[in-house]
A = this chain, B = another copy of it.
Amino acid sequence: GSELLEQERSNSNVNVDALSHFLFTKEGIARKQRVLKVLQSEKVFDKSQNYFAGRIDRFETALARAKKLRQLAVRNGWTQDDRLTANELISEPGPYGLHESMFLITLRDQGNAEQHEKFLRPAEEYKYIGCYAQTELGHGSNVRGLETTATWNADDKTFTIHSPTLTASKWWIGSLGRTANHAVVMAQLIVNGKSLGPHPFVIQIRDMKTHEPLENIHVGDIGPKFGYNTMDNGFLLFNNFKVPHISMLARFSSVDPKTNKYSRPSSPSLIYGTLTWVRSTIVMQAGGVLARGVTIATRYCAVRRQFQDRDAPEWEKGENQVLNYTTVQIRLLPLLATTFALHFTGKGMMALYAASQKKMSQDVGKVGAPERGPGPEETHSGSDLLADLHATSCGLKSLASYTAVEGLEVCRRACGGHGYSSFSGIGPWYADYLPTATWEGDNYMLTQQVARYLLKSARSVLKGNEATNDTTAILSNFLSRQDTGAAFDILGNDSELVAAFAWRAAFLTFEALKHRDEQKKPWNSLLVDFYRLSRAHSQYMVVKNFYETLQASPDSSDGLDPETLGLMHKLFRLYALHTLEAEASEFYTSSAVTVRQIQLARTNAVMKLLEELRPHAVRLVDSWGFPDWQLDSSLGRYDGKVYEDMFHRASELNPLNRVTVDPYPDSPTLFKKNEASALKSKL
């Protein structure tokens, strides 16, 4: 395979380094190299048994790695970015995962000064190891339906935490199963017999010395999952368990221990800010998540040869690289384009988020008045930007995570039989990533929030209000041109291609509005339309972000050379036209394009782009800069030594080959010899 990849690389002049810098900045790349070196020098991070080990061994190794990582972070004075980079390189969820994210964030954001002292400090020093326990066996999406109760006891100034039913059991809680000794628990606060909705409590659940569960607490691991098996997702039940007053995180709401009065002085907009931020990072990561699969499949399909081309000239004897088959290209190259599209969109979202945070902090005091409702769709005035950002992040989280999930599986299948081996590195990665489609808002449900926001925006535009952001701008534009109609030159003009996506999204918005406001259709009967609407709006956002990033490139300091930029423009068109074609019927019911244009896009434009991009595929994936150590894939090796690596892993590293069976049905002996455990790496 080596010669084939060398040949690929020499046949393209994409400037890999420049493109890498454009994607990740020089500092980001240097950081990756530095952290990688540290990790590779520690035996515990050796990956060679990862694909073989069973759940308990994998969990044990993951715990050892988590500990070592923490030690390295302290010893080397790693920044937050360094730590995230290390996690990316290791590429497996670890038992400190929720401690280091949601537990610390929640303590920080929702605790007051006293609680920071009491909980956050020891947590930062890993004396307290925590998790975030919101979801229950019976309730996930519907947080208001949680059943765990926290009843205020006026007499002794405590809360009683209780799980009244089996379905009240906390469930799915990362790091809880075996690792955590503390949990942030969301429970229905009850004061004076009155239920006040879910609130966060910090609760010790295991003994600090023995690590055994405290009395009246039933806690454990929820069992094996499709992936994520290096993480101990857990369950947790309370039997009238008392905790002191300080346990309730009190930055936004509290119970006064003297008066027993509940108060909720502050606005929860910060919390929505956090949710928006989390979703934006999911969008940001989706490009890279998918790029791993695309890198592996593209390299392998350049190394894999199968059949001679039917129309090849007589003298061209060798078998064809399968990357040359158009049915392989149509699966991989649009996904290659998608990796960049999502990456730029994520970057755009993060920038908008930063801008909105800045604006918010300038506005302090102005927003967040106590009368505000619970959802950002009811915000007003200065927080318009946040509302737009919130809705956009919901729609894009849904689109981006599905795109990555589905794309990874397309990549795996494109590798034929070998894609099914764990050594392909795609399957295990896919399995671990999969829950992203469900958590932080189920991908289907999130689209209702997008629709709600778009309907609201459309109503405002219909009332004649001036456009205040991009969403209202495209809706206004649609209204003003609706009658004259639009005929976008999607094949000749990139900005019109973007405009066609905007047009379709606006069309669907007003259609949905008609159904809801004029025809008074029930909300539930419109969910399918809402899903489509959210998808349309989000695809428009992606196309727009991709386009604008390229427009800005020549002016930016780390801009691309004209040739590479030209290729990026082709990738943009491929992403946009391929998407347009897949969603064709919405594009012409909205009269954004004609049937003829779609046919031309399908049979000419897209096929031509595949042909033009094909020679650059390997270099383009190279620019994502995944070290082999990170990919841990036989098929995706940088040097193309695919078969050697498959063989080595199967023949040398595979513990099953240390077992000799007795194959005869009438013999009760199963294993004549079993030396498999000898291969288990010592930590």
Interface, chain A (partner B; CB < 8 A): 51-57, 59-60, 63-64, 66-67, 70-71, 95-96, 126-127, 129, 135, 137-142, 145, 166-167, 169, 171-172, 177-181, 211-212, 218, 220-228, 232, 235, 305-307, 309-311, 319, 324-328, 330-331, 412-413, 416-417, 419-423, 427-428, 431, 434-435, 437-439, 442-445, 447, 522-531, 581, 584-585, 588-589, 595, 598-599, 603, 607, 643-644, 646-647, 649-651, 653-657, 659-667, 670-672, 674, 676, 683
Contacts and interface: CB of A to CB of B under 8 A. Distances in A.
Contact of A306 (B145, B218, B417, B603): B145
Contacts of A522: 310-311
- In order of increasing CB-CB distance, the 6 nearest A-B pairs are A54-B54, A584-B585, A226-B427, A70-B665, A327-B527, A220-B657
A211 B523 contact: no
A416 B145 CA distance: 16
Given A222-B421, A226-B427, A53 B56 contact: no
Given A310-B523, A319-B145, A656-B177, A650 B416 contact: no
A177 B656 CA distance: 9
Given A643-B138, A650-B235, A439 B422 contact: no
A102 B574 CA distance: 44
Contact of A585 (B167, B305, B442, B585): B585
Contact of A307 (B55, B142, B179, B439): B142
A661 B137 contact: no
8 contacts: A166-B644, A211-B672, A221-B656, A224-B654, A232-B656, A309-B523, A330-B528, A588-B595
A220 B651 contact: yes
A341 to B, nearest CB: 21
A167 B223 contact: no
Nearest to A658: B56
B421 A142 contact: no
B528 A311 contact: no
Contacts of A444: 327-328, 331
A649 B598 CA distance: 52
A420 B655 CA distance: 28
Nearest to A525: B326
Contacts of A434: 420
A420 B223 contact: no
Contacts of A95: 661, 663
Nearest to A414: B444
Given A661-B179, A662-B211, A664-B126, A325 B235 contact: no
A665 B325 contact: no
Contacts of A443: 413
